[in-house]
Structure 1
Amino acid sequence: MSASTKDYSHHETPVQLPDNQSTPEYVSDAMASLLSKMDFDYVFLLPGASYRGLHDSLVNHNRNLNPKIILATSELSAASMAHGYAKAADKPSLCILHDLVGLMNGSMGLYNAYCDRTPVVFLGGSGPLDPDQRRFIEWNHSASTQADIIKDWVKWTDEPPTGNATLKSIVRAKTIAETYPPGPVYVSIDTHVQEQPVDESLEKVDPSLPRYKAPPAMGPNEDALAEAAEMIVKAEFPVLVGGRFGIYERMRKPLIELLNISGAGGLNDRAVYCWPSDHPQNLSGDKDALREADVIVCMDCIDINNVMGTYAIRRRSDTKEMREKASPTIIDMSLNAIDNNSWTAFGGPTPPIDLQIVCEPEYGLARLISAVQKALERNTDLLGRVQKRKKMLEKRHERLRVAQIEKAREGWDQSPIRVERMIHEVYQAVKGKPWTLTAANHRSFNEVVWNFPGAGAYLGADGGGGVGYNASAAIGAGLALRDKGRFCISLGGDGDFLMAPGCVWSAVHYGIPMLHIINNNSTWGNDEVHQIEVAHNRRRPKENAWIGQAMRDPIIDFAQIARGFGAWAEGPAQTPSQLIDILGKAVEEVEKGRVAVVDVTTTLGLLS
């Protein structure tokens, strides 16, 4: 990454402005000035007349700085970029959407951010609320309460009717977004209000005041924590399941510390990698671990039923009802109990937990480490049990990895390329770089083909299962990673890429170096596998599963599409040797500061 340019000031710098920033003349100037003080480095947007006043103020009052405009090519891309940026930057991001139609186009992006508990402040042009101020088109694009359409999947909404109310609402929105459990918020900004001149009635809002700061982390109940610690150290086979907070690098050290002092096995929740792949207590991929465990600690796991395999359809071997011995004690350390939504069933039914510790998970982890240490100090005889477990787990980890390597190498040299081989070669191409995996099809990953150092190396999935997230979110994340000197790598499906291919233009235009791999099986692969399963269950021909699924005749030329948006692109790579050659070139291009897209012809993946 050292060879890439550090100066992006030549992009979209306003001209013919006075030497000194003027005082706000319009309410939208005051909005832009306020945003400049709220630690928003960038704003992701697609233009819309409903916020033309604020757009002008961001450019001509703020001089397109703090926040700097990142132009997307669709509202879904704008929302997904903001989502990815917030996770990579580890702070709230900002996105602006056009009124009703823009909000409807971007609404899936808001849902993904909500399910992924990601703090994004969405501003939406609206109105005018006063009917006498509306142009003809604004009647089509106005609603009595604009946010009604997305109220069910954001943390908070507001429809402020005045300039003062709008300024205060924007600051409050960020506070709510970053208060745990975090999530997206939405504020309508009235078109007419934006364009009103500033007068003496407009108040100054200072976002640095304590009242606008997110409250301190909620701590755990100490009695429950002590009880959990005793269960862990006295267990025969405790297992720690790391959840969503594993997307943050700051969690790497404490998670490893808890694993080491407890002598527990480590498993990952869906779409996260909390533990180092080569840690001797990492049992990720061991389908028997949960079935055999007697104490299971779920830390920031959003859907514990999914962790435990208690859903009725396609029950797994770790389902509680299939256990040969007594059910385990399940401990939940999260904010799940207070993060409920009556509209979406996301998160599942009541989980099968025995001890619930309601707290901010990061703070809870620190307190749990202390509680485990104290439990071991009170009874030093338990240290021998911990060491015994560690030796058992090390042997189990070694056997697991041997079996996983053997499984992964089945059809290793075949064409189309097996997904495991593709992932292995991508990792080999970037492993010497300061890489961060920003997006991927998590179901395809086997830790023997990609070595994760622990929390923060992978930024997790979309959250809500909305297709069209990966490439756009990777670009938003890549912007934050560029500023940190990291190598941005992402993998996404061909269908996901087709949802918003124009996002590549944004990455190229703003000089966001990244490597994006298109896992191209020329079909809506997950759904084709579903059709195969249904055909099997109904004793019907699986040979018809591709109809209405496959995207062939013609085969889509993804490399040509990406080149059309200005990226370096090659493919399709159809053999492992072709892939290795193309990846070498692609990495070189990224290190020059370019966007590289590689199209890889692969086999079908697994069932979701």
Structure 2
Amino acid sequence: MTTPAPTYFSDLVVEFLHQQDIDTVVFNPGASFRGVHDSLVHADNAAIAPEIVMACHEEIAVAIAHGYHKASGRHMGVFVHANVGLLHASMAVFNAWCDRVPLFVLGGNGPVDAGKRRPWIDWIHTSQNIESVVKDYVKWCDQPIGQRATVESLTRAFKLMNTPMHAPVFVALDFDTQEQQLEEGVRLYPATATEPTLLPPLDRETVDDLARRLLAARTPVLVVDFSGRDPETVAPLVALAEALGLAVIDRGNRLNFPSNHPLNVSHTGTDEIAGADLVIALEVQDLVGALGSFLSLTDQGLPENGADIVTIGFNDLLTSKWAADYQQLVPVTRSVAADTRASVEALRAVAEDPRGPFAAPGFIERRDRRAAALADVHGRSRAEWARQAEESKQREHIHVAGAVDEIHRAVRDEEWILTNTGSLTVDGWVKKLWPLERPGSYLGLNGGGGLGYGLGASVGAALAHRDDDTLCIDLQSDGDFLYTPSALWTLAAQQAPLLVVVMNNRLYLNSTQHAQRIAGNRDRDIDRAHIATSFYDNPVDFVTMARSYGIHALPRVEKIGDVAPTVGEAVRHLKNHRAPVLVEILMD
């Protein structure tokens, strides 16, 4: 069946989404984009219109698109209602900004022409410079007026969000423009107009300079953070580290390097790299935090031992004038903006060259000795973490380490993906106990530290894997859950195959810890730290909540011996029905 030519401008917007291979859009409905909404559901557009995922809150909608992209590398379009919807969405947009995820966010507005506004509602839902709500934490934004201008804005936005550094974009669609009949001569640009501008790999001079530094270094360290956004970087990165005997610190915003690889000494606190004389930081966001995890630093963030610092990445290509997520300035030895995967491959080629400097017997002996020492640290550290987890299982109440270990025991034979790890505490134990080795199997935390991310992002990731056998697991903290519980409605409506494990300690743990710390510093009663940071006095029943939305939920787990059997039962149900399941674990 041939799709008829667009009749209204909103039909052309749908055609643009189809042209850019956006097969799904997500939104909470709003009248300010009713023209596009009509075009999405119009029967004559069925052959090209993306599938609609409805959310009950704009923050959930943006989080769904956030998780969908991290899980698949594909885009889900997001529509938000004029001003009030954008205000609801703004926290989730900030998370995506800090997480360097490209999101295509389109908002309604207007009509800007005051003569076309309906009384009251169009006036309170029309804003001058509506993009100002998010302009300081999107890569580009626009409020075009007119059909040709809007086509250009959509095209530019799509191109810019995919050009490194990746980040969200926002375009406001004027209410009146959406509903106009398509003007003669208005058409889309060619699909290729949105192809991103690409960065080159390291140039020859830079490769040679890095090779000289690596050859001379006694204790070279490779720090990685976001390179695993492209899963294809993991294998060549492993090969590079092995060829050079590099100690690897994975800051963990993605799965950049296998957690169980013997060269991975993240979280070990080892003295083996305390004397590092060369650090190569690959797509590292918080450089001071990364360096300070194993080196003593000056107040300028420089290593006190004078180690050379070389950064490769895109951080300097994207900075906000409002948000300080660009972190402390470090006057590094050398900073290079280059394509990550191509740069790793260029360094790998030199490192593995059988006639190159790294093939010399003297270097190979030094490399092997270094690698053996790192492997020993790695092995001892993982054995100690496993011992601590086993010891925690003897406690009266479930401890996070034991719970994380038992959850893995129940899913270890599955092809799983961790869509979210809920909190820094849970995340830390996951990285110590789980074998994070398959590229793309760990999607990282929320980026901006904003609660309300986990469940929506996990729904998005599960939708990305709806048609395969992947087991998507959301290790969901209870406090984050309570920001956006209506994400359960979308989860149930879409029957997204997601295992939600609620790690319920009935606390905003981070806030409780801060309250304890300040009370201790002031020699005050730390036993009062739970006041206004806990749910002890009015606990939430997450099992009943899930069932009320039509989601299969098992009885709450309160003993460590029941964790693995209950999670195992949940996995079997999910595999048999390809439908969501919730398990609640009550824990310290």
Match of 1:63 in 2: 46
TM-score (norm 1): 0.91
Query: Take 1:415 and 1:567, find their aligned partners in 2: how far apart are those partners?
Result: 30
Change (3 A) 1:546 1:442: closer
Quickly say closer, same or farther: Cα 1:375–1:119, change in 2 above 3 A.
farther
- 2:374, 2:487 → 1: CA distance? 44
Partner in structure 1 of residue 399 of structure 2: 418
Alignment match, 2:313: 334
Counterpart of 2:565 (choices 581, 585, 589) is 581
CA contact (8 A) 1:263 1:389 kept: yes
Counterpart residue number, 1:21: 3
Q: Is the 8 A contact 1:230 1:372 kept in 2?
A: no
Residue 485 (structure 2) aligned to one of 501, 507, 524: 501
Partner of 1:400: 381
1:252-297 deviation line (CA, Å, top 9, x unaligned): 2112111111111111114433222322211121113552322221
CA contact (8 A) 1:240 1:298 kept: yes
Q: 1:320 aligns with which of 293, 297, 316?
A: 297
- 1:10-61, CA deviations, whole angstroms, 9 ceiling, x for partnerless residues? xxxxxxxxx6533211110111112111111110111000000100101114
Alignment of 1:264-283 (within 5 A): 264-283=246-265
Question: What is the match of residue 36 of structure 2?
Answer: 54
Q: 1:292 to 1:575 in 2, by over 3 A?
A: farther
- Tell me the C-alpha RMSD between the 2 structures: 2.1
- Tell me: CA distance 1:598–1:415, structure 2 relative to 1, closer, same or farther (3 Å): farther
Report what 1:34 is aligned to. 16
What secondary structure, in the 3-state scheme, does the structure 1 residue paired with 2:274 have?
helix
CA contact (8 A) 2:275 2:305 kept: no
Q: Deviations over 1:424-478 (max 9, x none)?
A: 1211222211111111134433344211115321011111111000110011011
Q: What CA distance in whole angstroms lies between the structure 2 residues aligned with 1:124 and 1:421?
A: 45
Is residue 383 of structure 1 aligned with residue 364 of structure 2? Answer: yes
Deviates more, 1:289-298 or 1:165-174: 289-298
2:233, 2:344 within 8 Å by CA — same for their partners in 1? no
Q: For the residues of structure 1 that align with 2:561 and 2:307, how far apart are their CA atoms?
A: 47
Partner Cα distance (2:25, 2:156) in 1: 18
Letter in 2 for 1:378: P
Q: How does 1:591-602 map to 2 (within 5 A)?
A: 591=575, 592-602=577-587
Conserved 8 A contact 2:297-2:304: no
Letter of the structure 1 residue corresponding to residue 445 of structure 2: A
Partner of 1:9: none
**Residues 126-155 of structure 1, C-alpha deviations (whole Å, 9 max, x = no match):** 110100111121110111111011100000
* Corresponding residue for residue 444 of structure 2: 460
User: Normalising by the residue count of structure 2, what TM-score does the alignment of the two structures yield?
Assistant: 0.94
Contact 2:223/2:284 (8 A) holds in 1: yes
Decide which moves more: 581-590 or 125-134.
581-590
Q: What is the correspondence of 1:408-487 to structure 2 with a 5 Å cutoff? A: 408-440=389-421, 441-444=423-426, 445-446=428-429, 447-487=431-471
Q: Tell me the residue number matched to 1:198.
A: 182
Q: C-alpha separation between the residues in 2 aligned to 1:421 and 1:318?
A: 31
Partner amino acid for 1:159? Q
* Stretches of structure 1 lacking an aligned partner (at least 5 in a row): 1-18, 310-315, 604-608
Letter in 1 for 2:374: L
Q: What is the aligned counterpart of 1:257 among 234, 239, 258? A: 239
| Alignment gaps of 5+ in structure 2 | none
Q: In the superposition, relative to structure 1, how do residues 544 and 376 fare at CA in structure 2: closer, same or farther (>3 Å)?
A: farther
User: Structure 1 counterpart of 2:58, which letter?
Assistant: E
1:146 counterpart = 2:130: yes
In 2, Cα distance between the equivalents of 1:46 and 1:34? 21
* Aligned residue type for 1:575: K
1:318 Cα deviation from its structure 2 partner: 3.8
Rounded Cα–Cα distance in structure 1 between residues aligned with 2:167 and 2:467: 24
Give 1:106's aligned residue.
89
The residue type paired with residue 336 of structure 1 is: N
2:55–2:490: 8 Å Cα contact kept in structure 1?
A: yes
- Structure 1 residue 235: Cα displacement: 1.9
The answer to whether the Cα contact below 8 Å between 1:571 and 1:600 also exists between their aligned partners in 2 is no
In 2, are the aligned partners of 1:92 and 1:177 still within 8 Å (CA)?
no
| Aligned position for 2:339 | 360
Measure the CA separation in 2 of the matches of 1:31 and 1:387: 58
Is 1:373 aligned to 2:352, yes or no? yes
Contact map agreement 2:14 2:48 (CA 8 A) in 1: no
Greater Cα offset, 398-407 or 162-171: 398-407
Q: Does the 8 Å contact 2:68/2:461 carry over to 1? A: yes
Find the aligned partners of 1:376 and 1:104 in 2 and give their Cα distance. 59
> Quick check: 38-47 or 576-585, which moved more?
576-585
Partner residue in 2 for 1:229:
211
User: What's the secondary structure of 2:46's corresponding residue?
Assistant: coil
Shift of 1:564: 1.1
Identify if the C-alpha distance between structure 1 residues 382 and 257 changes in structure 2 by more than 3 Å, giving closer, same or farther.
same
What's the offset of the Cα at 1:214?
Answer: 0.7
Partner amino acid for 2:478? D
**Alignment partner, residue 568 of structure 1:** 552
- What are the within-5 Å matches in structure 2 for residues 4-19 of structure 1? none
What's the counterpart of residue 181 of structure 1? 165
The equivalent residue for 2:282 is 299
Query: What is the distance in 2 between the residues matched to 1:217 and 1:478?
Result: 31
Identity %: 29
Aligned length: 577
Give, as a single letter, the amino acid of the residue that structure 2 aligns with 1:438: T
Mean CA deviation greater in 361-370 or 255-264? 361-370
Structure 1: how far apart are the matches of 2:103 and 2:70?
A: 10
- Residues 318, 570 of structure 1: CA spacing in aligned structure 2 closer, same or farther, 3 A cutoff? farther
